[in-house]
Amino acid sequence: MICAYSAIKTCQRNTQLTSKDLADIAARTLAYYEGSAEPFWHGAKDHDVSQNIDALLRHIHVAPPFVLLDFGCGPGRDLMTFTAQGHTAIGLDGSAAFVQMARTNSGCEVWHQDFTGLDLPSGQFDGIFANASLFHVPSLLLPHVLTSLQDALKTGGVLFSSNPRGQNQEGWQGDRYGVYHDLEGWRSYLTLAGFVELEHYYRPTGLPREQQPWLASVWRKV
């Protein structure tokens, strides 16, 4: 498999990051989004992620409406969809610009939290939607972040994730830090955090695998 994100500067897991490195990764990545908030919104607001939303919702086995966390909600596109469907949706993002835009666009409660410093309530959510967000978490911090998300779910709750896939390399792509997991690598992290896999698929649908740069997966807290 040829990684669609081969331009990143580091080609393996980086387990030697210091606390200063982690702070710099968060600050620089968030600064990128702060500086491109408006064009990001206009470029992403019409993206069709209904396949991903449906994958989350169909695995939640309690009566709707659901209580949902949009983890890395950006300007609020998917919060608007969840709210229109009658669910109670809360957003979370590390970019102050995105948080303000998401509140304005969706009318939802939106928490301003850096992924590296989460403060989530325990057992609150039926589902967590992490669409194109968790890949920004350095591999060194990913177990802690996934454990925080697992704790924030109710028993039986569901986590959806979609990440640009690769061969388990991480590093900088421009001014954004990312980790590009393959399926087996991603499974190992989620399993260790106490999740059980429900399904996975590659996007966009209907294309050869080498033209499907996104890995989507759904997981249950048991």
Identity of the residue numbered 147? T
Quick check: helix, strand or coil at residue 145? helix
CATH number of 19-221: 3.40.50.150
- Can you tell me the distance from the alpha carbon of 45 to that of 74, in angstroms, rounded to the nearest whole number? 10
Residue 16: the pLDDT is 82
Residue 3: the pLDDT is 39
Q: How many Cβ atoms are within 10 Å of 73's Cβ, its own excluded?
A: 31
Q: Residues near 46 by Cβ (< 8 Å), separated by ≥ 6?
A: none
Residue 13: the pLDDT is 63
Strand-strand pairing, 88-93 and 109-112: parallel
Q: Where are the domains of the chain?
A: 19-221
> pLDDT tens digits for the chain (222 residues)?
233 444 444 445 666 899 999 999 999 999 999 999 999 999 999 999 999 999 999 999 999 999 999 999 999 999 999 999 999 999 999 999 999 999 999 999 999 999 988 999 999 999 999 999 999 999 999 999 999 999 999 999 999 999 999 999 999 999 999 999 999 999 999 999 999 999 999 999 999 999 999 999 999 999
Name the pTM for this structure: 0.94
Residue 50: the pLDDT is 98
Strand-strand pairing, 88-93 and 67-71: parallel
Residue 4: the pLDDT is 41
pLDDT in tens, 22-50: 999 999 999 999 999 999 999 999 999 99
Residue 116: the pLDDT is 86
Task: Specify which residues 218 forms β-bridges with.
Answer: 160, 199
